[in-house]
Amino acid sequence: MPQAENDLIQQLPQAARKRLLDQCEPFDLELSAELSVRGQPLSHAHFPLEGFISLVIDVDDYPALEVGMVGRESMLGSELVLGLAKTPWRALVQGAGKSWRIEAEALRKECIASPELRQVMKTSLLVRLHQQTLASACERFHMLGPRLARWLLMSQDRAQADCFHVTQEFMALMLGVRRVGVTEAAGEFQQNGLIKYHRGELTVLDRSALEAQACSCYAADKLLYKELTEVQQ
């Protein structure tokens, strides 16, 4: 079985952590797999150990748009703490890896029995709501280049590696833009030595320079996560 290294699970006292993990099973996060369907009840929650998941929303006939990202710092299914199971987004595996998976009903019951788990899940949900609000403003007001830099940094954080797999089509989808825009912005980053990109493999070469190119939302997002988690602990 994989070692539990999800940050939320690690915050739990030992007894609560053991009770939760006794009801979980190891699960492989396969690239591009859909873990939930818009408007359908969640069957399972996931606590990623490695890899990451994009929350993607579809509106009418417009291209899909990413509205959230979940890695080992968080979980998929924090809404279950409110007794809710349906979501307005699809959960799409963006970075392959592993997770702990638990049935939705089992997690609901454990929330009732464990105030520590309930608090951790509430914090996770609160952080994501704040992050989605910030992401909406970023989408509306910031230019593509800084947004792409922010997205690459977020992906690298969750991939826990300098190199990760991503296609230009997927980057365009996540940012809600045409592929040509991503090609131009990524090409400029590559020309300036910030990244290297070849056949779907992207390597961050100069993280400091990429951070300097990112919009203010990246730093604001990390500060928000730190402040909210410290308050709730």
10-residue averages of pLDDT along the chain (233 residues):
75 95 96 90 94 89 84 94 83 94 95 94 90 86 95 93 90 88 95 94 96 95 81 56
Give yes or no for a contact between 186 and 175, defined as CB atoms under 8 angstroms apart. Answer: no
Residue at 14: amino acid letter: Q
- DSSP string spanning 75-91? -B-GGGGGT--B-SSEE
Residue at 17: amino acid letter: R
Estimate the share of the chain in helix, then strand, then coil, as percent rounded to the nearest 5. Answer: 50, 25, 25
At 1 the pLDDT is: 42
In angstroms, rounded to a whole number, what is the distance separating the alpha carbons of residues 112 and 118? 7
At 2 the pLDDT is: 46
Q: Name residues whose C-beta falls within 8 Å of residue 75's C-beta, 6 or more positions apart in sequence.
A: 6, 8, 45, 46, 47, 48, 121, 124
At 232 the pLDDT is: 55
Domains and CATH numbers, the chain: 7-139 (2.60.120.10), 143-214 (1.10.10.10)
In angstroms, rounded to a whole number, what is the distance separating the alpha carbons of residues 171 and 148? 8
pTM of the model: 0.89
At 70 the pLDDT is: 94
DSSP tally for the chain: helices H, then strands E: 9, 8
In angstroms, rounded to a whole number, what is the distance separating the alpha carbons of residues 53 and 55? 7
Residue at 152: amino acid letter: L
At 231 the pLDDT is: 58
